[in-house]
Amino acid sequence: MDWIRWISMTMSERILIMVKNKVVLKERDAWSDLANFIGEMVAKYAESMDLDNLPDPDFYLRRERIRQLYTELYKEKNITKFRNTKISIERKVAA
């Protein structure tokens, strides 16, 4: 289910879906009215905000994960460890 449809649903429709999925949240708290208001505003202006054409967050998250892995790989201790491993393999091959 896309999230724009979820936001535009009434609270009773959401509860019905959550009951089907074994999640039941019937308590209303101080934030539920604000959440409903924000949901209705997003649903109302979703078309004019062109939310369907937002960039894919998976691409950004994947890029950040790759950057993090490269940072870990090229830390000083890993470079030294890699160099020592490479030299020991070359010595074994030469022997």
Whether residues 49 and 9 fall in one domain: yes
Single out the residue of 44, 41, 15, 46 nearest to residue 28, CA to CA. Answer: 15
pTM: 0.32
Q: Are residues 24 and 62 in the same domain?
A: no
Same domain for 75 and 48, yes or no, is no
45/7 Cα distance (integer angstroms) = 12
The 8-class DSSP code of residue 53 comes to: G
Provide the residue type at 31 as one letter. W
At residue 13, the pLDDT reads 63
pLDDT tens sequence across 26-67 = 566 677 788 888 888 887 887 777 777 778 888 888 999 898
Runs of H (alpha helix) within 1-95:
3-8, 11-20, 32-49, 57-73, 76-94
On the question of pLDDT at 19 being above 50, the answer is no
- Give the domain extent around 42: 3-53
Q: Which residues contact 42 (CB under 8 A, 6 or more apart)?
A: 4, 7, 49, 51
Number of domains composing the chain: 2
C-alpha to C-alpha distance for 23 and 54, rounded to whole angstroms: 29
- Are residues 44 and 75 located together in one domain of the fold? no
Judge if 9 and 32 occupy the same domain. Answer: yes
> Do both 66 and 37 map to the same domain?
no
Look at residue 5 and tell me whether its pLDDT is greater than 70: no
